[in-house]
Amino acid sequence: MTAQQLNPVVQEFVDALNANDQDRLSAILTDDASMSDDGVERNLTQWTDSEVFSSNGRLDVETIGDHGTELVANYTNSRWGSMLTTWRFTVRDGKVSRFETGQA
């Protein structure tokens, strides 16, 4: 991992995802949070249920950029296995208001 650190809000998102803690992840998202996967807008609740919580998703951060709001990570879940992914986060008022992910 690079010397740059994750933005604290993004770090909380990663920690909550890796803990498979739905309440904790929900608490770090704005009420109107949105997301996309490989450039396609997705329903955030359905996506996290499928890709994170029911399939034990895990992010292992490899590199960090853009002041800690962009990362490249090895993402693993029981549905797809492991793949190198990019993640870009928009932080607003101390919460994640949007994230975009996709294969690197």
Provide the strand spans (E) within 1-103: 29-37, 40-42, 58-65, 70-77, 81-92, 95-103
Q: Is residue 39 part of a domain?
A: yes
Residue 60 lies in a domain: yes
2 occurs within a structural domain: no
85 within domain boundaries: yes
pLDDT digits (tens, 9 = 90+) for 40-79: 999 999 999 999 999 999 999 999 999 999 999 999 999 9
Give the C-alpha separation, 40 to 51, whole Å.
15
Residue of 8, 92, 13 whose CA lies nearest to 52: 13
Contact 60, 76 (CB under 8 A): yes
Judge whether 38 lies within some domain: yes
37 is a domain residue: yes
Question: pTM value?
Answer: 0.93
At 77 the three-state DSSP class reads strand
CATH classification at residue 20? 3.10.450.50
**Domains of the chain: total:** 1
Domain that holds residue 31: 8-103
